[in-house]
Structure 1
């Protein structure tokens, strides 16, 4: 599985950030990289108080999935 991992920060308080992720079962890492910006834009549309500070596509680790 591929995880689109990102850090979202409050626009009114940029020091208040949270780690978030979206998990995909049917994407390759390249497809994740190519589709990340539109997916993050959709996320920001539904969470307008936040901005995306950074993001990355990575393989989802089994330990992360169980937590």
Structure 2
């Protein structure tokens, strides 16, 4: 898995959505529909995060949200 985070001198651009561990199916559904991002689920924690950090993925999601 290759993860690319778009960085500038002002910081890094990313969309991070945190879910309760019970909502992993929703995070997987979003990832499947957007076709971008990674899902992380730390061992021993009841949480998962959906992270979109590559520039094309960020543009795609922002355009879908803004219309």
Query: With structure 2 as the length reference, what TM-score do the two structures score?
Result: 0.34
Q: Which has the higher strand share?
A: 1
**Greater RCO between the two (CA within 8 Å, min separation 6)?**
1
Query: With structure 1 as the length reference, what TM-score do the two structures score?
Result: 0.34
Q: Which has the higher helix share?
A: 2
